[in-house]
Structure formats: C-alpha cells, structure tokens
Structure 1
Amino acid sequence: MMLRLSLATEDYDRVRAIADRIVNVQGVELETLALEPEELFFRMSRYQDIDIAEFSLSSYTLSVSRGESPFIALPVFLSRVFRHGNILVNRDAGIDHPEKLKGKRIGVPEYQMTAPVWERAILEHEYGVEPGSIEWVTGGQEQPGREERIPWKPPTGISIEPARSGKSLTEMLLEGELDGMLCARLPSAFDKGDPRIQRLFPDFKSVEKQYYEKTGLFPIMHTMVMRKDLYNEHPWLAPELVKAFQKAKEIAEKNLFEMAALKTMLPWLVAEAEEEREFFQGNLWPYGVEENRKTLEAFLQYHYEQGLSERLVEVDELFAPNTVEQSAI
C-alpha cells in the first residue's frame, strides 16, 4: 500500500521533476505544494502541518540544539546563495565599507534567519565587524509586525530592538531611520530601482567569487526536513526521498546546458552555466553530507558564536542516520 504524503517547497527548477511526476519516490504518492519560504517556515514551525518540507537551516539548528526538534533533516539543500549582494545600506548613511557599519542601526527581518547568520559571519570573519558593534532592529521587511518564528533570548552584548510600531523595515530604511538591512529577499523598493537603497558591495558577484576561492564555502540556506514521527515509523523513506531529489536536480542541471531550445528566457544562460560549472569544478550544487561537511561545520560554528545555538551542534546530528552515508556500485 502506497503512503500518501504532503511535500512542500518553493517552486524551484531542481524540484520540478518531482512536482510534475517525472521523478517518483518509491512507495509514496506525493501531494506537492509550492509555497514561499516565509509561509512554509512559519507553518512548519508553528503547526508541522506538512509531512516533508523545505525548512530554514537556522531554525532547524536552533531546535536541534535545544533537543526539541519535531523534524529530522535530509542532506538535500534546495536553497544556497552567496549573500554579499543582500547587505544593503541607505544611500545617505555614508557606508561605503563594511567597517562603517559599526555603531549603525541595521534592520533584519528575524535575527535567527539563516541568511543574516551568514551575512553577520561574513562581516565578522572577513571584515572584523562583530555583531555586538551594531544596533539591530527586527520586524517585517515589507509589512509591520513580523516576529521571530522561534522565540530565543539574545546573548549578552547584543542590542536588538523591535521596529517602530506600524513601520516596516523597508520604510525605515528609505526614510533614514535605519542605516542598512541584512535580508534574504531584496526589498520591493530596491527591485523597483529606488536610489535610496544601495548594495554595500555593488560588484557583489566578483566579491562572492573571491569569497568562495578563499573559503570554499557556498552558503547553504535551507534543508529538507520530515516529521520525526514519520521517520521513526518509516525510516526507509528518508533515503528514497534523497534519491528522488538527486534525480530531479540532475534533470534541472542538464536543462541548464540545453541549447536546442533554451529552457529559460536568458539568452546566454548556457555560457554562464558553462562558466560556473568550470568555476565549481563540475559540482554546481552538491547534495549529501560529506560533499557539504565543510560548509555545514562553518555554519554550525557561526550559529553557536552568534548565540543562536544553545550548544555547538555536530553535523551528523542534523540528518537521518541512513542518509549520512551513501552506497556505491
């Protein structure tokens, strides 16, 4: 008898083969949902109303460190992004170098979000700007009233205050009440070309490539999780899911290099894909624990340093045991 389960992710090219039933999970009939991360992570944190879902690596790590996670993760990393390009400043704040962020008021939707964990780590470890040297303001990026999805207590020496009532972080940044913002999603005003919001690193692609060449880190944002009770009852499901996601990713990667009929509306996508395949030495977007151990260890260290984890979590604690090692033929 087939298991009937729900699966939710953002609408990525690397999961489309699963959503379109081109790739199936053995023994499972999946009801797939495409949800934006903010809604998906909120629902999973509060209600666990989906069986298998994309989830914030930071929120998951925080709950694992407390020994209270209702999930277990799979080494499938649907979202990974270099984040230098998401460090924004107000044009009139006079911030043209990371060191000038010291003493400034910087907005962040949630302090414990994965993207700001990486952004703060970059500022601290690459430029000497420690989190304690900044005044942090949290709140909704586009709509006022957002709160941390997982309650936590800031460590000593970190100044965090809520955004002014009725104000979004984007409004505060535009009006000069904030000097900058660390974010995952770029503000709508920035997308529309409002000149009051600028990137701290205008040539962010070059800076991010230099960061990778120096550190070997391609930041991971999200992992896949399944309800722990589901895993305990059907442990075979975890490696079957990993295999399906791997197959779907391989299909998406193959499409990047298709020239007979371009799969996207980017005329030189194939040229860019070939350049990036060479830059990453043939492994554009790795899944698996060992392939990502260095990046995961760095993230777990940053998470602990920033006072988010209650203890230093080990990489292998995060994932279903039967997905950590893979068979070979």
Structure 2
Amino acid sequence: MTKLQLSVAMGDYDRTRALFDGRVQIDGVDPIYMLLNPEEMFFRAMRSMDFDIAELSFSSYLVKHSKGDCPYIAIPVFLSRAFRHTSIYVRKDRIKKPEDLKGKRVGLPEYQLTANVWARAILQDDFGVWPEDVTWVRGGIDTPGRPEKIKLQLPANVKVEVAPEGKTISELLDQGDIDGFIGPRPPSRSALANPNIGWLFDDPTAVAKDYYRRTGVFPIMHVVGIRKELAAQHPWLPGAVFKAFTQSKAAALALLSDTSATKVTLPFVEEQLKAARETMGDDYWSYGVAPALKTLETFVRHHHSQGLSARLMSVDELFHPATYETYSI
C-alpha cells in the first residue's frame, strides 16, 4: 500500500519528539512534519487550512465546530495542558484579591484564546468574577494591532475594547492604563520589571493544586485535528494518528522517568515528577475522552456560557467517533 503523504503541524515538545525523529510512525502515513509556534500554527490552520493534520487551539476548534464549519475533526490528543492560574497578571498596587477585578479593565491578546477561557472560568467558579464584570481590552502582547483570528459574536453584556492604535497590552499594563492582563504568554519583560506588576496569585502552584484536588480538572489547551475530507476518505486514519501520538507521549514519559541523566534543562525534575504523580496519578497527562471527561465537560460549559460556542456541545460531539474507544490486550 502506498503511504499517504500528509503535512503535520505540531509544537516542538518532548511528547511529539519521537514522531518528528522517526522513532514512532503513523501507520499508513509518510508525514511531512513542521514544528511551529502556536500563533503561526493556529492562524494558518484556521485561516487558510494549510495542514492535513494540525495541533489546534481547543477554543478556536470549538468556536467553528459548534457552527458546523470547522475544516478539521479533532482527536482526543491533548498536546498542551496547563493550569492557567499563572496566566493572570495584575497591577499589585490596585488588585489585592481576585474579586477586586470586578469593574476593572483587563487586557488580553484575543478574547477566544483557550488560556483566557480557562482563566475566566477559574475567576467565575472560584471567585464570582463573571466575564461581564470586566472590561476586556484586546491587543497584541508585544506587537500592536493583533486581531481575533476568528470572527466572534459575543453576548451584548460582554464589553470588549480594542487597544489604542500603536499600543500593546503590555505597555498599557506597564503604564497603568489597564488593571490586569490574561494570556498564554506573559507580558513583555519591561512590564514584568515594573515592581507593581505580578501574578494575581502569589503562589499559583498551590492554588492550582487545590483547584485540581477540588475539581479533578487539568485544563486542556490544544487538540489535534485531521482534515475532515481525509478522515472521511480514510476511516483508519484518525485511529492511526491517535495511536501514534499516544506512543510518542509514552516514549517521552519513559525518558523523563530515567533519572540517570536529567532529560530536561531544569533542576528538581525528579521531585516535580513525584509530586505530579502523587497529586494526579501515574497517567497525569492523559489522552483519550474517558480520563478527561470532567475537564472536557467543564470547558464546553464555560465556552458556551462565555458566548463563544454557537450552542452547548456534548462531549460525544467533540471528536472523531473512532477515537472514543481503543482496543486493549
């Protein structure tokens, strides 16, 4: 059988490296891999559909999938997961606790970014700060004039302003023109050098661990999508892609657990790995629907309530049917 030559866009992670270097193969596929940053990858996937298989913003996928016009169908491979308590920065001279954000102005690069959906969900569920309680100011983090990559129809009570021309939201935060900042990347270095700017939560790791213990939710940022026509033409493809990404993650975790020589350029890796397993179990970075059910249900609920999904989707609608169950031996 001639293998399918398919373009695959993904991030450069330990969990994708075995695919990129060829240790793990996608059955039936001759891949052309591109390691890209999220902004380029998501923009090209959603604007011009440049890739056959692509890592996708979970939020962007859901915006389009809920309207039935997404060119990709997702599989439950969660290449990026993160507790977004570290994504909320504030003017510490004004904001002492999360509830202080009510009535304030908060900058963000795009309203619909997955990290921002999760941050707003945390503020709403745990601290009673609803999206309509804040005036959102949209702009680039380091470059002025960043637009939403997808056209949105937000509820009338959600207030979104565009940053002044030529201004970044990092500059606005540094100058005191906004009270907070939420995004998947931190503000600029010059803003972080301001002693009045810092994380909303003084110990975000402790707050995130408490959040997980209470909710069982480990936020999902990115999924993997396959062009719909390819999945329809080759019914075996979604299962093959899911299998390969799962094997690649397993290879990364095996290396991470080999402490004879640290595989990442960071101290205390053994301690962090032990702590993660004690808090979240051995399969702490799970792929597949069943282990992530609480997380998925939480996200689709908030995504819809924040005005981003055209309708409230069920988890059963999110992914290709072939990837809801896998074989066992």
TM-score range, shorter chain: over 0.9
Structure 2 SS opposite 1:30: strand
Unmatched tracts of structure 2, length 5 or more = none
Shift of 1:241: 0.7
Shift of 1:194: 3.9
* Map of 2:32 onto structure 1: 31
Shift of 1:192: 6.0
Contact 2:89/2:180 (8 A) holds in 1: yes
Structure 2 SS opposite 1:273: helix
Contact 2:18/2:248 (8 A) holds in 1: yes
Structure-1 separation of matches of 2:65 and 2:167 = 33
* Map of 2:180 onto structure 1: 180
Structure-1 separation of matches of 2:300 and 2:92 = 33
Structure-2 separation of matches of 1:226 and 1:191 = 39
* Map of 2:134 onto structure 1: 134
Structure 1 SS opposite 2:8: strand
Contact 1:7/1:31 (8 A) holds in 2: yes
Contact 1:246/1:287 (8 A) holds in 2: yes
Q: Deviations over 1:251-301 (max 9, x none)?
A: 111112212121122232112112211211211200001111111011000
Correspondence list, 1:223-234, <5 A: 223-234=223-234
Contact 1:74/1:225 (8 A) holds in 2: yes
* Map of 1:20 onto structure 2: 21
**TM-score in terms of structure 2 length:** 0.97
User: In 2 relative to 1, CA 108–192 (structure 1 residues): closer, same or farther, beyond 3 Å?
Assistant: closer
Shift of 1:91: 3.3
Structure-2 separation of matches of 1:191 and 1:237 = 46
**TM-score in terms of structure 1 length:** 0.97
* Map of 2:221 onto structure 1: 221
Correspondence list, 1:201-220, <5 A: 201-220=201-220
Shift of 1:29: 0.8
Shift of 1:191: 8.7
RMSD after superposition: 1.2
Q: Deviations over 1:281-324 (max 9, x none)?
A: 21120000111111101100000111111110111211111111
Contact 2:73/2:320 (8 A) holds in 1: yes
User: In 2 relative to 1, CA 279–117 (structure 1 residues): closer, same or farther, beyond 3 Å?
Assistant: same
Contact 1:19/1:32 (8 A) holds in 2: yes
Contact 1:8/1:53 (8 A) holds in 2: yes
Amino acid at match of 2:50: D
* Map of 2:327 onto structure 1: 327
Q: Deviations over 1:15-71 (max 9, x none)?
A: 000000000011111111110000100000100011101000001111111111111
Percent of residue pairs identical = 47
Structure-1 separation of matches of 2:318 and 2:191 = 35
Give the aligned length.
328
Unmatched tracts of structure 1, length 5 or more = none
